[in-house]
Structure 1
Amino acid sequence: MTDASSTATPEREPIRVLVVDDQELFRRGITMLLAAEPGIEVVGEAGDGIEGVELAESAAPDVVLLDVRMPRRSGIEACVEIKQAVPSAKILMLTMSDEEADLYEAVKNGASGYLLKDSSIDEVAQAVRVVADGQSLISPSMAAKLIDEFKQLAKPEREQVPGLRLTDRELQVLRFVAKGMNNREISKQLYISENTVKNHVRNILEKLQLHSRMEAVMYAVREKLFELP
């Protein structure tokens, strides 16, 4: 007879979140709401970029929520330093700024997500889970702006790898990533498993010598591998 305890699925560790925002009421509110979410643990909060970097180094969170506009050190600057100090940490910008330049700078400097502060708590909690899982997420209202920004970019300084070729399936996956879809949504569109989607994304990044999904989209648009609508 098999011991039931030996076959039980181990409980997943909670996602450790650090909240960095200079607006105290908003910061406290989002901290309380996220702490009540299943599978999420808030490990600290900070009121500016400098304190946020220091806390990230000591707490080693899985996800850092960063405001863009903060005193002493901006969220973009903090994003860069946190990625250097804690490479495993995923950065989710949560801000009032709907400026294309802020969005582009955040993505360029390693942010995995960009949400506006008018998002619901359910949307923020879901975004935390998505970026913790290694995916990217951008507010729908900002996705079109990001695509427009990509279109304006000059050719990258990086020389294209000789003989670089993405398969038709990889290009399909990349198009859906560009539309802001996560792995589950892409798997439903292409009738393939989520693991297969993950493998395609990994292959795309390896071929393009890039580090994130959003960088891959930027590269593809710059190199005219496909045209966005």
Structure 2
Amino acid sequence: MTAPDPIRVLLADDLILFRRAIAQLIEEEADLEVVGQASNGLLAVEAALALKPDVAVLDVEMPVMDGIEAARRILAALPETRVVMLTVSEDDDHLLEAVRLGVHGYLLKDLAPAELFDLIRAAMRNENPVSPALVGRLLAAVRAGTPPPRPERADAEGPALPQRELDVLRLVADGLSNKEIGVRLSITEGTVKNHVHNALAKLDMDNRIQAATYVVRHGIGLPRRP
């Protein structure tokens, strides 16, 4: 059986040593391949348009053009490319804006290389990985009244979702992967993916992070907070 093509990755970070070190480690993974590197957001956009990578891993803080604006342009021009953001701090103020844009993952730079590789793979599976510390900050902002990632729907409670889809979204909000959710709910990973897909369609949202924050924002299917 022919092995699947490796996931083609574009790396953008202005810290040359960090970027090259990550690139070298990625090249050691049989299913991952670095097809380009960039030192700022503008060069990242240009490289993405030329190379059409499967995943673009962008540092948030870069010169000339920051990672958020680069993500905006890449997502607009290349909807099939998954965009994963890297940040140095869980206090990053760009988190909500990135979620609004529909990025496919948001990770802290202090994670181990193996974790980064697994999360790149997760982005290709549309699992929208987010570092647990950032999930907590995101949901805290939502509960505190920060505007949700997408405009409010006319019906404040949103569309009715089956209890199982709500259960899945709550676990997504806790930062669990599809595999972990399947184990927790005693269902297959494929069934989890179907529930997430159906929930996104009903909520008219782009990714699972947006759906999870919407559920938390409105308390849909959750116990009432005192």
Q: Same fold (TM over 0.5)?
A: yes
Alpha-carbon offset, residue 32 of structure 1? 0.8
- Aligned partners of 2:103, 2:110: CA distance in 1, in Å? 19
Spell out, residue by residue over 1:29-78, the C-alpha distance to the aligned partner (whole angstroms, 9 max, x if none). 11111111120000000000001001111111111110001111110111
Q: CA RMSD in A?
A: 1.9
Query: Which of 175, 195, 198 is matched with 2:170 structurally?
Result: 175
Query: Which of 186, 201, 215 is matched with 2:210 structurally?
Result: 215
Question: Which TM-score applies when normalising by structure 1?
Answer: 0.90
- Aligned partners of 1:209, 1:53: CA distance in 2, in Å? 27
Correspondence 1:23 to 2:23: no
Q: Is the 8 A contact 1:221 1:227 kept in 2?
A: no
Query: Which of 182, 185, 191 is matched with 2:180 structurally?
Result: 185
Spell out, residue by residue over 1:175-201, the C-alpha distance to the aligned partner (whole angstroms, 9 max, x if none). 111111111111111111111111111
Q: Which residue of 2 aligns with 1:78?
A: 70
Question: Which TM-score applies when normalising by structure 2?
Answer: 0.91
CA distance 1:163–1:55, change in 2 (3 Å): closer
- Aligned partners of 2:224, 2:50: CA distance in 1, in Å? 41
Larger Rg: 1
Alpha-carbon offset, residue 111 of structure 1? 1.5
- Aligned partners of 1:192, 1:62: CA distance in 2, in Å? 29
Spell out, residue by residue over 1:63-120, the C-alpha distance to the aligned partner (whole angstroms, 9 max, x if none). 1110001111110111110001110111111221322422222222122111111111
- Aligned partners of 1:148, 1:94: CA distance in 2, in Å? 20
Q: Is the 8 A contact 1:18 1:61 kept in 2?
A: yes
> 2:4 corresponds to which letter in structure 1?
R
Query: Which of 96, 101, 117 is matched with 1:109 structurally?
Result: 101
* Number of residue pairs aligned between Structure 1 and Structure 2: 221
Q: Which residue of 1 aligns with 2:3?
A: 11
> 1:76 corresponds to which letter in structure 2?
I
> 2:8 corresponds to which letter in structure 1?
R
Q: Which residue of 2 aligns with 1:5?
A: none
Alpha-carbon offset, residue 144 of structure 1? 1.2
Alpha-carbon offset, residue 135 of structure 1? 0.7
- Aligned partners of 1:38, 1:145: CA distance in 2, in Å? 34
CA distance 1:161–1:99, change in 2 (3 Å): closer
Write the mapping of 1:114-153 to structure 2, written as runs, cut at 5 A. Answer: 114-152=106-144, 153=146
Amino-acid identity (%): 42
User: Please, which runs of 5 or more residues in structure 2 have no aligned partner?
Assistant: none
Spell out, residue by residue over 1:133-167, the C-alpha distance to the aligned partner (whole angstroms, 9 max, x if none). 11111112222111111212247433238982101
SS at match of 1:115: strand
